[in-house]
Structure 1
């Protein structure tokens, strides 16, 4: 696959860049410009380095092949990669910068330093190279520094190289399996760790390299300062370490605060709280905050439009029913109003009240599916005709299911289906009883019955409010939920008292 070949080419370029800077640049300069060597000794050291580098490169190739295998299998497999293979490749790709560090450090220290040390010891013992044996220990210190530098360079370069692979794996998993690939926190490397590690190493590396080079020069020149050198060098290294750590921590804190604030605001957006963020920054975070605020403004605008569309949806449905049955025009709005008043007395949350209102507006929408000669009949219905009317809660429930309501509007469905259930279990369509009836259905049943009793029909006049309230009181605990029935009676009696007081003042 061209994409995987491009990735491997980038990894090779990264390796050449890291090797050139760390090994052939800093490392060779450290060796050949610090030590006083004859041309013969320099030739032997070049041979040692050539042999050791060959072993190191072979070791690194083997490790790279092992690390890249899960990714390679996805690209070169003849059949479509399985979900598990895609997940493993995605996790491996995310870990590839860390795996690159392992691939650099292991072969550098074991494939390069061990053979080079053994060969150098043999040449020193044979007298071919005139160097003190303890220089091998110093060389190991230098090798560790060079390996760390090489690993750090490739670590950050690999982050850039792996992105197209991650994008490809994400697209494949979505297209083939409809899943979003993810990694757990164990496979994540925090920004704090990357920042602290790179800052401390960048500060210490030149100091430690200078300390090693100076020690070798002092030793070769027989400098009198050598006895006190390491105590002085340790103090310098400690000071540099403390300063670099403090600087890295302060820098991270400076970066951490806006990141955490942005993350908190994004969480708020996910929960539906669209609050803009004060822009108190004068660096790149200023652009991020401006972008976030533009995004929030766009979401708010879109959300308001969606709310208006949803309101129009409910209004159109209610108006459609009113147009179908003009004798019950306004019934859904009145039931919604009564239901909201009961819910407020019951202490429902504002979100619950809004869902209840929408459910009440649509509670009779199923009557659209009832034939005109039954729905619009002016006389008494036959048993067969009444059974057709009794189908409207299920018809309405099925209509709304087929519409494909968004998840946050699904709570309207139980009220539409259950508003004709009775508390004693003799209602319809499911003969539910007591608290087995959904709460919206129990509450709306009271409001629906009251409006039905007090509204005029072609074949009868609506009964007086007092009589309807008496019927609800008598049916409390049998036909209607006693709790919601009592709240409705309290609400209506309170409204009557307010009207009477207002009338007496007039």
Structure 2
């Protein structure tokens, strides 16, 4: 499907208007420079000069038109031909974003190679053969003037093109959504850094008047060989350029610093780090941006906390629903989660991992939902077949959690759910993993689950007292349970017991 040409035609018209406006300003600047040139030449020599200028301008305009056509061709083809795939629009979108920088090249290249080079060569040649009677240094000054004006023309063209491309970018984005259901974006790519853009802009704006005035003064000077003239002129020029450079550097730094600060904070938010807002270090309009960013961040934090509360409630509800099937195991999942978190704190796990460990422990037995009541709630001894069914609940639990979307949000909990019945000596189930091949969450939950199971009453037996369960954990270190994790739990138990017994 083709895109309507109205937007494209308006876009091309504005580009041409921008170029005409920039060219007019360049002509005014060059004309002003030539007015100051004290040329007193015969009419014939003026004809030669005008001829050189006209010929050079023709070469320049021809080169600019060729370069412009090449730069705009992908965009023109997009509007004139059928758009049949998303990648075509994406490439044109990026090309359109590059047009301001390409405009600078379009101006500088033809100015330097189409105007300056032919005009300089022809002028020097005419002076050499006697057709012109102007000093050679006038050609040098005129060349410097062309370079200066070309730089300012390129700067103007850059910013005017930046404004002109926005409607066509919006049009391309709208068509991408309608045709392919996808959003056009640079994906965070920086085609031209704001630091580079501002630095050169500020420098040229500051240096242009100084350089233009210096060239005009040089044209008006009658005697360049006067004592101290060159030294004085160069000194003043260097001071002015130095001031322009330092000023542009300071202005650029002052502008880029708050942008960089906000960018860093946005990167933190992107990875889920919401603790610290942006620092209010600025007294200009950036202060309002910082305030708005921090206000937005507070809203995100509140929403994230609510989401976490809902998620915690969801997990706790699932665990309570599972435990409610068997009155003898009521509260088992919550207690296992509490023990597991305690072990995680003793092991000095990061806060985020402890949160994931709690959720994994809450759901460690979720697979028992898939076990028939006749087997799960049987009071007597299980048959071998029934026991094999029970041993499948870690696999069932993992399969159930894999059905919950988004899948990446559930991924941290799967290893603990599947592996909480693995043994350190490799004799556990369902995979027979050994040692530290068993996921960390599985090794932690195994200790917490075993302690609560041993100290809880069952229909067929009364629960052990805590000291007996702790003794069994000590004996099973390195065989059934991870020795380090089991030792952390055992040591913590005795330490807490001593504190309770202390007078």
Structure 2, gaps ≥5 residues long: none
CA contact (8 A) 1:418 1:438 kept: yes
Task: Say how many residue pairs are matched.
Answer: 495
Residue 247 of structure 1 corresponds to 247
Shift of 1:353: 2.1
Please give the secondary structure, in 1, of the residue aligned with 2:458.
Answer: coil
Shift of 1:297: 1.1
Residue 220 of structure 2 corresponds to 217
**Counterpart check, 1:78 vs 2:75:** no
Residue 68 of structure 1 corresponds to 72
CA contact (8 A) 2:422 2:429 kept: yes
- In the TM superposition, 1:54-453 aligns within 5 A as 54-76=58-80, 78=82, 80-81=84-85, 83=87, 89=92, 92-117=95-120, 131-132=134-135, 134-164=137-167, 181-182=186-187, 188-219=191-222, 229-271=229-271, 272-405=273-406, 407=408, 409-453=410-454
- Alignment CA distance shift 1:451-1:163 (3 Å): same
Shift of 1:126: 8.5
Please give the secondary structure, in 2, of the residue aligned with 1:459.
Answer: coil
More displaced stretch, 457-466 vs 421-430: 457-466
CA contact (8 A) 1:215 1:229 kept: no
Shift of 1:79: 5.3
More displaced stretch, 73-82 vs 480-489: 73-82
More displaced stretch, 39-48 vs 391-400: 39-48
More displaced stretch, 303-312 vs 279-288: 279-288
Shift of 1:131: 4.5
CA contact (8 A) 2:83 2:89 kept: no
- Alignment CA distance shift 1:227-1:17 (3 Å): farther
CA contact (8 A) 2:36 2:220 kept: no
Shift of 1:302: 1.4
- Alignment CA distance shift 1:480-1:209 (3 Å): closer
Shift of 1:456: 1.6
CA contact (8 A) 1:204 1:237 kept: no
CA contact (8 A) 1:60 1:107 kept: yes
Shift of 1:240: 0.8
CA contact (8 A) 1:473 1:485 kept: yes
More displaced stretch, 256-265 vs 153-162: 256-265
CA contact (8 A) 1:60 1:103 kept: yes
More displaced stretch, 112-121 vs 11-20: 112-121
CA contact (8 A) 1:355 1:412 kept: yes
- In the TM superposition, 1:23-34 aligns within 5 A as 24-32=27-35, 34=37
Shift of 1:129: 6.7
1:286-310 residue CA offsets vs partner (Å, 9 max, x unmatched): 2211121112111111111111111
Residue 9 of structure 1 corresponds to 13
- Alignment CA distance shift 1:229-1:493 (3 Å): closer
Q: Provide the TM-score with structure 2 as the length reference.
A: 0.86
Structure 1, gaps ≥5 residues long: none
Shift of 1:475: 2.8
CA contact (8 A) 1:366 1:393 kept: yes
Please give the secondary structure, in 2, of the residue aligned with 1:282.
Answer: coil
CA contact (8 A) 1:74 1:81 kept: no
Shift of 1:154: 0.9
More displaced stretch, 349-358 vs 235-244: 349-358
- Alignment CA distance shift 1:33-1:218 (3 Å): closer
More displaced stretch, 43-52 vs 24-33: 43-52
- Alignment CA distance shift 1:354-1:114 (3 Å): closer
Q: What value does the CA root-mean-square deviation take over the aligned residues?
A: 3.3
CA contact (8 A) 2:426 2:432 kept: yes
Please give the secondary structure, in 2, of the residue aligned with 1:324.
Answer: coil
